[in-house]
Chain A
C-alpha cells in the first residue's frame, strides 16, 4: 500500500504509523455526561466495510498527521488531507 503524502509525495506504507478512526473528537471533560462520551470516543468504532476516514502519522517522513479516506475492502486510497481542524500553514 502507498500513501500520497501531501508534503513528501507518494510513499510506501512502511513509512507511516497507523492510529485508526479519524472520527475521534476529544470530548469536553467538564460536562455531566463526560464519562460516557469519553468511553464512546475512546473505545467504540464504526469499523465500516468500505470507505473509512483514518489517521496516519508520517513518522519516517514529514511527521504530519494525515487523514486518509481509504476503502477497507479494496485498500484503495480515496482521498487524503492533513489531519486536524486547521491544517498547518504550509501543508497540502
Chain B
C-alpha cells in the first residue's frame, strides 16, 4: 500500500501486518487498512477525523479513545440482517470487506433537532422536555413525542432475524484472571506456576494491554517480547485456558456472598468468536456466553484515562493522550502533524515524547500544573515543544475538525495555536466496575483523585491500575502477588519466583476537571451532549445527588456509561455544592460492564428450540395418521386427524366425536402425569393429599381424586389406581404433572416424613392409550386375546389390572374421560409405537378412528368433566360441584382454610351448563354471564363461560361456566356477553353441567 492511500500511516513500526492489506468501506467510500488495525486506527490512518454526530446538538465527533470506553466513534457495522448499530470503531477488528456507516448524521425530517440545534440549542438544556410540550394536551403524543422519538436513538437495528448462532458454555476454574495487561499476565502466570486451574480473559485480540501501546521495557528488553514469553509459558500449561476477545461483563453470586472469601462466584463473560470475520464459519457461533464458576478471581482490568472539560473539548482531533500513544505505537498511525498536549498528569507527557519520536511536530505541552517534574521538562527539550506550565486550554476550534486551540497561561494571557491534534490527559479512572457488582462501594483516593476499590467481594483481588497502582512496576508486582495468593489460598504451592524489573515512571496526577475560563460548550458527556452548564442547572434546580444528576441530565447513561467524562461532572457538582466528590455519592455499577448482545444471553434457545419439545412414543404413528399437533405445555399432542375432503377442523372433530360415540376411537393420553406410589402408608398418604378417601379403595380398583392446596383451593384432579397391596399409580393433569409431584414430595419429605411411602415419576415410562366407544371392549378382546379378560364381569367399570401382553408388562384401567365405555391401556414407552399400531390394527375391522385433543374436549364438555379451564386455582371443590369429595372423616391438605367465609360464601359462582336457545348461536369460553335486562357492568357480572364447544351429538353449542349462585338457577334464562368477539349477546338456558348420558349408563355397560 502506498503512503498516499493511508496518509497518516507511519512508515515503520506498529503491531500491524503490512503484508496483509485489507480493504473496507466507510460511508460508501473504499479504504485500505492492515491486519491488526481496528476500524478506528484504519480510519485515522486514512486521514478521517470526523466519524459521527452527537446525540442532541449533532456536533461533529471524532475518535476520542482507543478502547471500549469510546463515546464518539460509534458506527453501524455490516449491512442487511447483520447490521449492528452503535458499534465502537475503537474495538472493531478490521477485516477484509468490512462495511460501516456513521450514525445519527441526517436527522429525521419531521423535527430536525440537528438543524435547529445551532440556533435553538439554548433551549435544549438538561430536562427541557419536562418543562414544556404540555400544551396543547393532544400535541405531546401526536407531534412532539413522535418527533423526539425519531430524532433520538443512535444507529438503526437491522429489524430482521439475526442470521447468526450463539452458544453458551459453563466454565470452572480455581483462579479467574480478568485482563491480560502486565498485572493480569503476571497474576495468571503466578497462579498457573503453582498448579492452579486458570482461566485468563482478555477483551482485546492481543494480550499485553497497555504494553502494546507504550514504549517500555521489562527486564531490560522490549515489554512486548515479555508478553510473548509469558503467553508462550501460559500456553504450555494444560490447566490454563486463555480466552481472547472475551469480555467479563458481570460478577454474580456463587455460594459466597458479597463479602465472604470462601466459596465460589459466577462470572458472566462473552467471547466474540467470529466478530472479527465477515461472518461466522460453518458450525461456529457468532458469540459464546461463558458462565465461569471461579473459586478465586483477580481483577486486572486496568484504568481508563479521563478527559478535561474545556470549551470545544469535543472537536474531532482531540484525543485522550493514552489513545494517541496507542495509535502511534501499536497501530503506526499519526493522529496529527502539528500537535499539542494538554495535561495535568506526568503520564500525559509521554504522548508528547511518542508523537515527537514518530515524527509529528509537537507545538506545545500545556500542563495545568505550575511546576511539572524537572526530569520531564528535561526530556521535553529534545522534542522542541514549547512548555506552557500552569496553563489551560480554554477553547478548541474547528467544527469539522480541530484547527487550533486557545490557551490561557499562568498570567491569564490568551494565545491561539494552530494544531490539528490535541492529546488530553486528565488522570485515570480504575476499571473497578466488576468489584462493585455485588454491592461493594469504592472509596475516593486523594492520591490519584479517582475512586479505587475498597471492601472487595469475597474471593476477588484487584491488581495494578484497576486498583490505582498506575506504574508498570506496581502492575507486575501486584499482579504476581495476587495470582500467587489466590492459588496459595486454595492450597496450591509450586515453583514461585516471578521477579520482573521495570523502569521507574513518573505518575503524579493533579486534579483538573474543568477549565473555568472556557469559551463555548465544555462537554462532560460527549455522547449525550451534557455540558458543564447542564450540571450547573441541575445543581440550581436541586438535582444534586449523583443519581439525580445522572437521571436529570442523562449523564453517563449513554453506551459508554460516561467512563471518560462523568467524573468531571461530579467534580463540577461538588465544586458548586461545596461537598466532596465522595459525599455526592458513589454510583455503584451494575452488569453488564460492557454492552452485550441480547442474542448471546439467549444462546441456542431460540426459534423452535426456545424450549425443549416433548413427544410421546406414538408421535410418529400420529403423524402417519395425518395429525395436526398442538403445544400442550412442553408436549406436542394430536389436536385432530383431518381426512381428505373435510371442509374444516370442525367437520373433522364432528366425525371423530360421532365415531367414538357410535363405534370406537383411539387417543394417545401418555402426556398425563403418572406417579408411582409405594409403601405401607401409601393409602394413608393418599388420604392426606386428596380431599376424598382412598384408604377404602380395594386392590384392582381406580378412584377419581381431588387435590387441594393448603389454602383450600383446588390444585389438581386425577385418578389413583390400587395395583397391588401398598402399591398405587396416580395420574395428574398434563399441565400440573411437575407441580403436583413437587407438592407430593413436599408433603412426604416435610409434612409427614414418618410415613412409609415413596414416590417415583413414571410419566416417561408408560405410553398410555384411551380406547373409547361402544366397540372398545371388542377391540380390546381382539388386541389382547387371552392376555386379559375384559368382560364386564371380569373387568367392570373402574377396574384396573397389571398383566403381560405378548410378554410385555402392561396395565389396563377402565376409566373414561369421554363418558363412553372406555379403557386406558399402558405399555412401557419403548413399546408405545408398536402398541398403538397393534391397537389400530385390532380395531380396523371395527372402524376405529384416532381422535385428538379437540374431540376429547368436546366429549368431556358433553359430560361436564373438568380441565384447567375449571381448575384455574381460584375455584373450590364446592364451586365445581364436588363438595361431596370434601371428606369430613379425615384430615387432608386444604381442609381448614377451605372453611373460610370467602370460600364458603353461597354467592360464589358455581359450575353450571348452558345451552343457547338458538342451538347454532356460538358460545365462547371467556364470555361473561348477565341476567336478562341488566346492563353490562362489572356490578352486574354473573360469572363467565369456562369451556364451550359445538356438540355434534346434541347438534348444538354447549358450554360449562361458573355462574353466581349457579346451582339455584337451573332452568333460568340468562345472556352471554362477549363484546371483544361479538356485538350481540346470546340468550342461553342454565342447565345441569352434564349434557350427554346424564345417568352414565354408557360407562358401566
A77 touches which of B255, B293, B753 (Cβ 8 Å): B255
Chain B window 238-275, contacts with chain A (Cβ cutoff 8 Å), 1 for yes, 0 for no: 00000000000000111111111001101000000000
Chain B window 881-908, contacts with chain A (Cβ cutoff 8 Å), 1 for yes, 0 for no: 0000000000100011101100000000
Q: Which residues of B contact A59 (CB under 8 A)?
A: 738, 742
Is the Cβ of A29 less than 8 Å from the Cβ of B896? yes
| Docked pose: A82 CA to B441 CA in angstroms | 35
Name, among B260, B293, B750, the residue most crowded by chain A CB atoms within 10 Å (CB to CB): B750
Is the Cβ of B258 less than 8 Å from the Cβ of A76? yes
Is the Cβ of A2 less than 8 Å from the Cβ of B254? yes
| Docked pose: A27 CA to B891 CA in angstroms | 11
Residues facing B in A1-17 (CB within 8 A) are: 1-4, 10, 12-13, 17
| Docked pose: A19 CA to B266 CA in angstroms | 23
Q: Which residues of A contact B895 (CB under 8 A)?
A: 29
| Docked pose: A29 CA to B256 CA in angstroms | 40
- A47 → chain B, closest Cβ, in Å? 18
Is the Cβ of B891 less than 8 Å from the Cβ of A57? no
| Docked pose: A10 CA to B746 CA in angstroms | 22
Q: Is B749 an interface residue (CB 8 A)?
A: yes
| Docked pose: A65 CA to B258 CA in angstroms | 25
With A34-B896, A39-B897 already in contact, the answer to whether A19 and B257 are too (CB < 8 A) is no
Q: Is B488 an interface residue (CB 8 A)?
A: no
Q: Is A46 an interface residue (CB 8 A)?
A: no
Q: Which residues of B contact A12 (CB under 8 A)?
A: 266, 291
- A84 → chain B, closest Cβ, in Å? 5
Is the Cβ of B266 less than 8 Å from the Cβ of A2? yes
Chain B window 749-760, contacts with chain A (Cβ cutoff 8 Å), 1 for yes, 0 for no: 111011000000
- A10 → chain B, closest Cβ, in Å? 6
Count contacts on B: residues with CB < 8 A to the other chain. 33
Is the Cβ of A2 less than 8 Å from the Cβ of B896? no
Name, among B253, B438, B754, B895, the residue most crowded by chain A CB atoms within 10 Å (CB to CB): B253
- A74 → chain B, closest Cβ, in Å? 4
Q: Is A63 an interface residue (CB 8 A)?
A: yes
Chain A window 10-43, contacts with chain B (Cβ cutoff 8 Å), 1 for yes, 0 for no: 1011000101000000110110001100110010
Is the Cβ of A1 less than 8 Å from the Cβ of B252? yes
With A38-B897, A39-B897 already in contact, the answer to whether A2 and B253 are too (CB < 8 A) is yes
- B266 → chain A, closest Cβ, in Å? 7
Chain B window 200-213, contacts with chain A (Cβ cutoff 8 Å), 1 for yes, 0 for no: 00000000000000
A57 touches which of B255, B711, B745 (Cβ 8 Å): B745
- A82 → chain B, closest Cβ, in Å? 8
| Docked pose: A2 CA to B742 CA in angstroms | 21
| Docked pose: A55 CA to B438 CA in angstroms | 23
Q: Which residues of A contact B438 (CB under 8 A)?
A: 74-75
Q: Is A88 an interface residue (CB 8 A)?
A: yes
Closest to A34 in B: B896
| Docked pose: A10 CA to B249 CA in angstroms | 23
Q: Which residues of B contact A26 (CB under 8 A)?
A: 710, 751
| Docked pose: A60 CA to B688 CA in angstroms | 26
Is the Cβ of A42 less than 8 Å from the Cβ of B897? yes
Chain B window 726-760, contacts with chain A (Cβ cutoff 8 Å), 1 for yes, 0 for no: 00000000000010001001100111011000000
Closest to B761 in A: A63
Q: Which residues of A contact B746 (CB under 8 A)?
A: 19, 57, 65
Is the Cβ of A63 less than 8 Å from the Cβ of B710? no
Is the Cβ of A86 less than 8 Å from the Cβ of B753? yes
Q: Which residues of A contact B255 (CB under 8 A)?
A: 1-4, 10, 76-77
Residues facing B in A69-84 (CB within 8 A) are: 71, 73-77, 83-84
| Docked pose: A65 CA to B744 CA in angstroms | 11
Closest to A77 in B: B255
| Docked pose: A69 CA to B439 CA in angstroms | 20
Residues facing A in B385-441 (CB within 8 A) are: 438-439
Closest to A22 in B: B750
- A4 → chain B, closest Cβ, in Å? 6
Is the Cβ of B264 less than 8 Å from the Cβ of A84? no
Is the Cβ of B745 less than 8 Å from the Cβ of A75? no
B749 touches which of A27, A71, A73, A83 (Cβ 8 Å): A83
With A42-B711, A74-B439 already in contact, the answer to whether A2 and B899 are too (CB < 8 A) is no
| Docked pose: A36 CA to B698 CA in angstroms | 37
Q: Which residues of B contact A83 (CB under 8 A)?
A: 749-750
Is the Cβ of A71 less than 8 Å from the Cβ of B897? no
| Docked pose: A30 CA to B888 CA in angstroms | 12
Is the Cβ of B745 less than 8 Å from the Cβ of A65? yes
| Docked pose: A77 CA to B897 CA in angstroms | 34
- B267 → chain A, closest Cβ, in Å? 12
| Docked pose: A24 CA to B753 CA in angstroms | 15
With A2-B264, A63-B745 already in contact, the answer to whether A85 and B753 are too (CB < 8 A) is yes
Q: Which residues of B contact A88 (CB under 8 A)?
A: 749
With A2-B264, A65-B746 already in contact, the answer to whether A35 and B753 are too (CB < 8 A) is no
Q: Which residues of A contact B745 (CB under 8 A)?
A: 57, 63, 65
Is the Cβ of B711 less than 8 Å from the Cβ of A71? no
| Docked pose: A83 CA to B742 CA in angstroms | 14
Is the Cβ of B263 less than 8 Å from the Cβ of A77? yes
Is the Cβ of A71 less than 8 Å from the Cβ of B900? no
Closest to A4 in B: B255
Closest to A87 in B: B753
- B944 → chain A, closest Cβ, in Å? 27
| Docked pose: A1 CA to B369 CA in angstroms | 49
With A39-B897, A74-B439 already in contact, the answer to whether A64 and B749 are too (CB < 8 A) is yes
| Docked pose: A17 CA to B263 CA in angstroms | 21
Is the Cβ of A1 less than 8 Å from the Cβ of B253? yes
| Docked pose: A57 CA to B741 CA in angstroms | 11
| Docked pose: A26 CA to B266 CA in angstroms | 36
Is the Cβ of B264 less than 8 Å from the Cβ of A10? yes
| Docked pose: A34 CA to B751 CA in angstroms | 16
Closest to A71 in B: B257
Is the Cβ of B257 less than 8 Å from the Cβ of A75? yes
Q: Which residues of B contact A34 (CB under 8 A)?
A: 896
Q: Which residues of A contact B293 (CB under 8 A)?
A: 2
Q: Can you list 14 residue pairs at the A/B interface with Cβ under 8 Å?
A: A1-B266, A3-B255, A10-B255, A12-B291, A17-B742, A34-B896, A38-B710, A57-B746, A59-B738, A74-B259, A75-B257, A76-B256, A77-B257, A84-B749
- Sorted nearest first, the 6 A-B pairs with minimum C-beta distance are A76-B257, A74-B257, A74-B258, A1-B253, A75-B253, A38-B896
20 extra interface residue pairs, beta carbon distance < 8 Å, beyond A38-B897, A55-B750, A76-B255: A1-B253, A1-B254, A2-B253, A2-B254, A2-B293, A10-B264, A27-B896, A35-B897, A38-B896, A39-B897, A42-B710, A42-B897, A59-B738, A65-B746, A65-B750, A74-B259, A75-B253, A76-B253, A77-B255, A88-B749
